[in-house]
Structure 1
Amino acid sequence: MTARDARLHAFRSDLADARLKGEVAADRFVAGRPARISAAVADIRNEPRPDAGVNTQLLFGDDVLVFEDAEGWAWIQAERDGYVGYVADTVLGARSQAPTHVVSVPRTFLYPGPDLRFPPSGQLSMGSAVTVTGAAETRGTHYALLPSGEAVISGHIRPVAEAAPDYVAVAEMFLGTPYLWGGASGFGIDCSGLVQLAMHMAGRQVLRDSDMQATTIGETLEPGPDFAGLQRGDLVFWKGHVAIMIDPETMIHANGHTMLVSREGFKEAVARIGYLYGGPTGFRRP
């Protein structure tokens, strides 16, 4: 049997994705049932219990395949990046109308109707996928109407086929967002989550974790002496960490030092991080 990364392939000793039959050993193989995330943010955990670690998150409108649903937990695989884990079954809904738009600002509110004076009924992160069924205007503010009857500010969404031209500019929109281990939303995000979400908004789908990104995004880059040759958009990796270059001297990253998405001088960061964790382990140019 070929070795498989359990983060990206749904297999356990007792159960596995039917597409993996003949490639992994399992007592039973099942086809995944299509479902869609219906919560603003869904934690993907490494075990089916509420105190288990959060590996990543999915957003409202993300499509998943469900391989098991038992005792309040669903074992799923995200279709966008292939990540496998457990979510509370309450965050799953049916796939009905196809999403037409995505949230294009870091965070936005849902309203029970097209009026910003209504108490919000929810909130959504950048990257959330919604289906727009109509439009309304109240006191000069334009709203998109959703199948639930709720409304979102029209200027906070864009068509699903429309990509941002610069993923670094998207990442910069998250400056000041709290750092959250496993976070992948505008409410809290980690280093590789920032890279993935920014690239997603620019129309590029990449893997979730920094070790995956360090071997799959773009091409390997070898800077010159004193890190010469780095440019906007290049990725810098440390063991367990990734940052995005804004320009040859400055990077942006979600980090546990400031507990925020922050700008930092690249050489200053190399010195600071190196004191505890060593120097950069690699560079990639998307």
Structure 2
Amino acid sequence: MTTEFGVCDLALAPLRAEASDKSEILSFLLFGDCFEILETRSKWMQVRTLSDNYIGWIDPKQQRSLKEGQVQQLQNNLVVTGPAVYHSIEREDSGETLYLTAGSRIPAPDTNNRFKIGDTTYRFTREPQLAAVGNFARHINEYARFYLNAPYLWGGKSIFGIDCSGFTQMVFRMLNIEILRDACQQAEQGSVVNFLQEIKPGDLAFFDNDEGRITHVGIILDSQHIIHASGKVRIDVIDDQGIYNTETGRHTHKLRIIKRFKN
């Protein structure tokens, strides 16, 4: 059987647990996110994302089909939009304007700021801000702080709503590092940092619940501070016990493990 592929061609598209508009949103596809089509129904499509193998249901009207060769070409020439509230692009065939969020995937634009996905050509309406390639230590603080005060949203991956692992995934994506979607999955990646005193900016700290299950993740800024999505993206104190909220005067998350993804 021939494998079918598609790409998200909107700013955001919800990825749901079941084939229903009432179903839980597990995550979001961003513009340029490619996927394999697993099952097609009259109003729904089950997909598996190519970047992190995440499975869910989307509305077929929020994507366009791609041939395998087109997907491969897109993946080979991929760049990611950097930290900006939005990036404005225009479809040359219709003149319609789209607004992309940080972390969207596009082929590298040409000197006229044009790029093509499938058979459609797009043009940035102003000079795009593209993600940094290299120099992780220089940009991690800036890129993480871009999301400060973004409201917490289960499954969210944008400045208008984001969850803890969506936050870490998007910041790392803009630094050219692909990590998995959920906190428990991310905790299986990277290399262990044994002590808080040995951290480097950009290490990920993971936190567990009373049953020992990883339920939260944040980005360590320095040996005393962490940025994470809890109610909103915020900066809190971190110590050997976990995250300490100075507003409430108590620890809110219990530290389990610290992982490093970039040496």
Runs of 5+ consecutive residues of structure 2 not aligned to the other structure? 209-214
1:193 correspondence with 2:166 = yes
Instruction: Using the TM superposition, give the Cα deviation of residue 35 of structure 1 relative to its aligned residue in structure 2, in angstroms.
Output: 1.1
Distance 1:231 1:89, change over 3 A: same
Larger radius of gyration: 1
Matched, 1:46 2:24: no
Which residue number corresponds to residue 124 of structure 1?
100
In 1: Cα distance, 2:170 partner to 2:194 partner: 25
The residue number in structure 1 matching 2:211 is none
Partners of 2:223 and 2:131 in 1: CA distance: 31
Aligned to 1:176: 149
Does the C-alpha gap of structure 1 residues 93 and 120 become closer, same or farther in structure 2, counting only changes over 3 Å? closer
In 1, Cα distance between the equivalents of 2:80 and 2:97?
18
Cα distance between partner residues in 2 of 1:39 and 1:212: 27
Is it true that 1:232 corresponds to 2:201 in the alignment? yes
Partner SS state of residue 254, structure 2: coil
State the match for 2:219 in structure 1: 244
Residue 212 in structure 1 maps to residue 185 in structure 2 = yes
Q: CA deviation at 1:130?
A: 2.5
Whether 2:59 is the aligned partner of 1:88: answer yes
CA contact (8 A) 2:12 2:31 kept: yes
CA-based RMSD: 3.0
Is residue 2:236 matched to residue 1:264? yes
**Residue 108 (structure 1) aligns with:** 86
Q: Which amino acid aligns with 1:233?
A: G
- Distance, in Å, in 2 between the alignment partners of 1:163 and 1:103 is 15
Match for residue 254 of structure 2? Answer: 279
* Structure with the higher fraction of residues in strand conformation: 2
Distance of aligned partners of 1:228 and 1:188 in 2 relative to their CA distance in 1, 3 Å threshold: same
What TM-score do you get using the length of structure 2 for normalisation? Answer: 0.78
- Counterparts of 2:230 and 2:100 in 1: how far apart (Å)? 23
Q: Does the 8 Å CA contact 2:80/2:173 hold for their aligned counterparts? A: no
Whole-angstrom CA distance in 1 between matches of 2:188 and 2:249: 21
Aligned length: 237
